[in-house]
């Protein structure tokens, strides 16, 4: 459901592209303001084709809104029927001059204000996450995606409101990407655009000690990257989630002299995490120089800021606050691969200089997860 004057220029799929895809059996006709599309049209592999048929399984097809700014899009984002209706009526009442992207009010922001305008939040394991999310007007499907137990290690690094906002943005961007790909003028994103997407959009482990500016959290461990990507895919309504693989020359790392945040041989990691994740604690003088270090290396913390704030001292930070991932490790003696739990390790790249180096000198590859 959308206003007639907006629907033609605001369709997710360009009309000609939609007609061609429909002829190929990759999308269905429009019904009730929605159409089913084959998950392969989101694929990074342009040769992938999974034709849509009436018997296609849910895993092969995704239901998307026909029009980008519509009530059906609010439903796609994960709002209930009642809340989607309310926000759609509110959107129609806004003067066209005030609507985004050039106006002061964006379509997505209407849904986001339901979250940001709510004073309460939940963080902890024993709090009623699903009840809280659905009480705001979001669907059981969205709540269950965020609260999937297999991703608890990541979920508890943030609050319910944080993951709600992140999930809405994920789903909105999936429609934007599909809309871009459907336009004739679309060209693959340059490295700079991909680097912009990779910037940490939320407070992370070292945000309390790093100087303001772009920060990128990367890992050498494929298992860590895949775990985060799988959680994003679980919460997204598309199959477009991918892992970005960067090949960084040793000379670049050596140039910026990485600093390792020690855990086994000292209390350094516990002290920095406890101070940094709170955001209100002053970093002790021996570590104050780290704010301008371009590359920090250390374990990934699995607790959110509120959990750190509740701890009375850095001495209460223990191994249970470290994200663990299962990796395949080669057993030389037995000549077999074994599954072992390993600490998740992150590399924090901080500042515009190293950002430019990464953009100019690193090989980047997108891989579907």
Supply the pLDDT for residue 283: 82
Supply the pLDDT for residue 243: 82
Supply the pLDDT for residue 354: 85
> The tokens of 180 are what?
């871009």
To the question of pTM greater than 0.85 for the whole model, the response is no
Strands (E), 58-193: 61-65
Supply the pLDDT for residue 56: 41
| Other CB atoms within 10 Å distance of the CB of residue 62 | 22
Supply the pLDDT for residue 45: 45
- pLDDT tens per residue across span 17-59: 888 888 888 889 999 999 998 877 765 444 444 444 434 444 4
**What is the C-alpha to C-alpha distance for residues 50 and 201, in angstroms, rounded to an integer?**
34
Supply the pLDDT for residue 55: 40
Long-range contacts, stretch 268-271, CB < 8 angstroms, 24+ apart: 269/298, 269/299, 269/317, 270/314, 270/315, 270/317, 270/318, 271/314
**Which burial class, exposed, middle or buried, applies to 194 when counting CB atoms under 10 A from its CB (0-12, 13-18, 19+)?**
middle
Supply the pLDDT for residue 51: 45
Closest CA to 361 of 249, 193, 254, 253: 249
Domain ranges of the chain: 4-187, 218-368
Do the beta carbons of residue 1 and residue 71 sit within 8 Å? yes
Which stretches in the chain have pLDDT values below 50? Answer: 2-5, 7-8, 44-59, 185-192
**What is the C-alpha to C-alpha distance for residues 169 and 163, in angstroms, rounded to an integer?**
10
Supply the pLDDT for residue 116: 94
Supply the pLDDT for residue 103: 63
- pLDDT tens per residue across span 190-202: 444 556 666 655 5
């Amino acid at each position: 459901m959308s206003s007639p004057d907006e629907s033609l220029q605001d369709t997710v799929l360009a009309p000609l592209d939609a007609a061609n895809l429909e002829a190929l059996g990759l999308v269905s006709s429009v019904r009730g303001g929605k159409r089913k599309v084959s998950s392969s049209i989101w694929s990074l592999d342009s040769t992938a084709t999974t034709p849509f048929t009436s018997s296609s399984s849910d895993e092969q097809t995704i239901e998307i809104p026909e029009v980008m700014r519509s009530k059906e899009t609010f439903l796609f984002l994960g709002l209930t029927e009642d809340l989607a209706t309310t926000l759609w009526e509110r959107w129609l009442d806004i003067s066209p001059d005030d609507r985004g992207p050039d106006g002061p009010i964006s379509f997505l922001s209407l849904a986001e204000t339901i979250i940001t305008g709510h004073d309460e939040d939940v963080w902890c394991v024993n709090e009623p996450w699903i009840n809280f999310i659905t009480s705001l007007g979001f669907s059981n499907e969205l709540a269950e995606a965020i609260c999937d137990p297999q991703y608890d290690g990541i979920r508890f690094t943030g609050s319910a409101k944080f993951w709600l906002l992140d999930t809405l943005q994920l789903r909105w961007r999936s429609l934007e990407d599909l809309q871009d790909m459907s336009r004739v003028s679309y060209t693959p994103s340059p490295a700079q655009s991909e680097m912009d997407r990779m910037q940490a959009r939320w407070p992370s482990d070292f945000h309390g000690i790093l100087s303001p500016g772009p920060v990128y959290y990367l890992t050498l461990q494929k298992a860590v990257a895949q775990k985060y990507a799988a959680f994003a895919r679980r919460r997204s309504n598309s199959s477009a989630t991918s892992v970005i693989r960067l090949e960084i020359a040793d000379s670049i790392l050596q140039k910026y002299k990485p600093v390792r945040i020690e855990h086994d041989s000292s209390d350094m990691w516990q002290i920095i995490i406890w101070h940094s994740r709170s955001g209100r604690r002053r970093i002790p003088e021996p570590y104050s120089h780290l704010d301008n270090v371009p590359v920090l290396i250390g374990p990934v913390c699995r607790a959110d800021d509120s959990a750190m704030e509740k701890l009375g001292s850095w001495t209460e930070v223990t191994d249970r606050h470290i994200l663990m991932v299962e990796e395949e490790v080669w057993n030389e003696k037995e000549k077999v691969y074994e599954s072992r739990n390993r600490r998740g390790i992150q590399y924090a790249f901080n500042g515009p200089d190293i950002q430019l180096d990464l953009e100019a000198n690193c090989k980047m590859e997108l891989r579907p997860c």
